[in-house]
Structure 1
Amino acid sequence: MAVIDSTDYVEAQEGSKSLKFPIEKQQANFELGVSMIIYSWEALDIAVANQWGGAQSEAKRDWITAIVLDLFDEKIVDVELIEETILNAMIDEFDVNVEDDSSLIIADRIIKIYRKCFDQDYKEVHELYSKWEIKQKERSARNLNITINEDPLNPDSSDDDDDDDEDDEEPSKITGEPIDEDVEMGGVDEPQGPIVDDDGFELVQKKGKKRN
């Protein structure tokens, strides 16, 4: 690993009150770049995947991105400050003490991406975003690629289990809507036999659910 200077910093230009970019495109690309760098942090990714921060783990990752960006409301930000901020966030929100140098690398990359955006060079930001999109698609594909292997001793068991699971599943858990007891309990009227008039002709009945 290349030697990283923890004292490396960026400073606002003379006359500027903060490190935020005056041009909207610059600021938008910088925010995206910081987000993609935070998302690429393996220690944080593992914590989110295992929900070590609880059900709000994904939201907490976005919050970490936000507090890093808030640092740039000041006139000077250095690598050490960013590293300290994300390390404290990992302890507070995920109860994880990151002891490797990955936090230092993340902080250094954020300083470097700021300089790239300052020069209006967005190539690396776009590359980071493309890599993230590919990773998301791969994860989605893995989640969808679920196969059920048949039991060689009882080949029909898998299908039977699936049917049982579907019968046991509450509609409200599938649709997100409350269960309508009248519809659920009422069902469809039992089919009636043919009706024959006095002359022996069969009357045609309307199909459908009988309404009271």
Structure 2
Amino acid sequence: MSCDADDCFVEAAVEEPNLKFKDEKQQARFELGVSMMVYKWGALEVAVANNWGGPASAEKRDWITAIVLDLFKDGKYVDAAMIEETLLYAMIDEFDTNVEDESAMPISVGIIEIYKQCQLQDYSAVEELYNSWLEKQNSAETSQSKAVVVEEDPLNPGVSSSEESGDEEDEQEPAEDADVEMTDSRSNQPVVDEDGFELVQKKGRR
């Protein structure tokens, strides 16, 4: 189900005070869908990632989700233009960012479409959005985990390991030579001349 930006709206029945779903599952799925659409908005994602709204940027994104939901909880009529306006003003107020790429409208249309699907108790789109978000989160966590491993390891583990082993060998070899020289010097008896002085012997020959 899809609608045009100029003709994309939902309206409560005459007897209903607002657009909030009475069924808890419907309302919960709709709220999840709105949250996923807001998280999907690229302009907001960049703003949060760069902390344009300060240390509480992530919390401000959740607040934007809440004020979009309030449109449905408080009103009997909501269209895509109202949602777009809400998103754009929130970006200016909370992130000091004026979004001019018209990216808010597809998000707004998507929210209206999700509402209509939830009316029909069709939650497939919401579940698809949620699963995509989970995959993205898992991918990000995996990348961060790999980055930590790289930071802990040397820049070039192979070369580093060989260098370390080489250093160890270099340190061990002189010690072995020293042992040999010490053994040779111990095994050779000192030579004393007739005046009682010890003669210096040449090393390296046996």
2:127 matched to 1:126?
A: yes
Question: What's 1:43 paired with?
Answer: 43
2:117 and 2:123 in contact (8 A); partners too: yes
The aligned residue for residue 104 of structure 1 is: 105
Task: Give the alignment's TM-score, normalised by structure 2.
Answer: 0.71
Contact 1:10–1:76 (8 Å) recurs in 2? yes
Structure 2 partner of 1:19: 19
In the TM superposition, residue 9 of structure 1 has moved relative to its aligned partner by 1.3
Matched residue SS, 2:108: helix
Counterpart of 1:90 in structure 2 is 91
Distance (Å, rounded) in 2 between the aligned partners of 1:150 and 1:49: 27
Cα deviation for residue 136 of structure 1 reads 0.3
The alignment partner of 2:78 has SS state of: strand
Q: Over aligned residues, Cα RMSD in angstroms? A: 2.1
Letter in 1 for 2:20: K
Aligned AA for 1:112? E
Worse-superposed segment, 6-15 or 115-124: 6-15
Name the amino acid aligned to 2:99.
V
Task: Give ranges in structure 1 of 5+ residues lacking alignment.
Answer: 157-212
Identity of aligned residues (%): 52
- 3 and 125 in structure 1: CA distance in 2 versus 1, 3 angstrom threshold: closer
Q: Structure 1: how far apart are the matches of 2:120 and 2:9?
A: 16
Deviation at 1:5, TM superposition (A): 2.4
Question: Which structure's residues are more often helix, by fraction?
Answer: 2
Larger Rg: 2
What is the TM-score of this pair, normalised by structure 1? 0.69
Tell me if structure 2 keeps the 8 A contact 1:6–1:104: no
- For 1:41-190, list aligned pairs within 5 A: 41-73=41-73, 74-146=75-147, 147-148=150-151, 149-150=154-155, 155=160
Q: Which residue of 1 aligns with 2:184?
A: none
Distance in 2, matches of 1:18 and 1:9, equals 14
